[in-house]
Amino acid sequence: MIAAIVPAVNGDANLGACLRSLAAASRCLRLRGERVVLVVALDSCSDATEHIAIRSGALTVKVDCLNVGVARAAGARVALEAGAHWLAFTDANSVVAPDWFAAQLSLGTDAVCGTVAMIDWGSCGALLQQDYHPTFTDANDQRHIHGSNMGVSAQAYRRAGGLAPLASGQNVALVEALERSGASVAWSTAPRVLTSPRRKYRAPSGFGRYASVH
């Protein structure tokens, strides 16, 4: 079984599209009918996010910490308890390609770090685009770590100690722990994710903070 983990805080504007894209990816013929479970980690939600998740058939877990890494870790625990052998991470404001799960698994590694592209730049404008494009490369071996496009085997995740409860940089810490443990990591453009910049952010060093200053 494969699991997709989606942390969400008041994400009712975007979560539906995210979950629909994950459901479509779960039907990819390359998966040969393997079951995919969706897990939404509800972090301090006060809007319709929980209703959307349940209506979509996703498993849910609640946390109250306003910390995306803690929320992802909670979702991962649910997925592991359900028996998932592969954990795929994305965000509520992102949509994945129809072959997203299959593309991650096809790389044959313990973990996958994929790139992201923007759905639209919204109110962030030209200044952010000018700064973003030279810094973030949509290419193999780019060494960027995006929480909206990651995957890891359950075995490697456990061996690395999982996501640490840090204020920020949890994804980077996880990849570093994976590499220290001897896990193989693919830095690949094969798994495709579209995301959107947002001015309300939870990771102090994440892309949301970067976008908020433009």
pTM, 2 dp: 0.86
> Whole domain around residue 207: which residue ranges?
2-212
What integer pLDDT is reported at residue 40 of this predicted model?
98
Average the pLDDT over 169-189 and give the result: 97
Strands laid side by side in the 94-96 sheet? 94-96, 193-195, 117-118
CATH assignment of the domain containing 28: 3.90.550.10
pLDDT digits (tens, 9 = 90+) for 71-107: 999 999 999 999 999 999 999 999 999 999 999 999 9
What integer pLDDT is reported at residue 143 of this predicted model?
79
How many beta carbons lie within 10 A of that of residue 55, not counting itself?
11
Domain count for the chain: 1
Rounded to 10 degrees, the C-alpha dihedral 141/133/173/203 comes to -160
Q: Is the pLDDT of residue 212 over 50?
A: no
| Residue 11: band (very low, low, confident or very high) from pLDDT cuts 50, 70, 90 | very high
Q: Is the pLDDT of residue 133 over 50?
A: no
Strands laid side by side in the 86-89 sheet? 59-63, 36-43, 2-8, 86-89, 150-153, 111-114, 185-188
What integer pLDDT is reported at residue 122 of this predicted model?
56
Quickly tell me which residue has 């998740």 as its tokens. Answer: 53
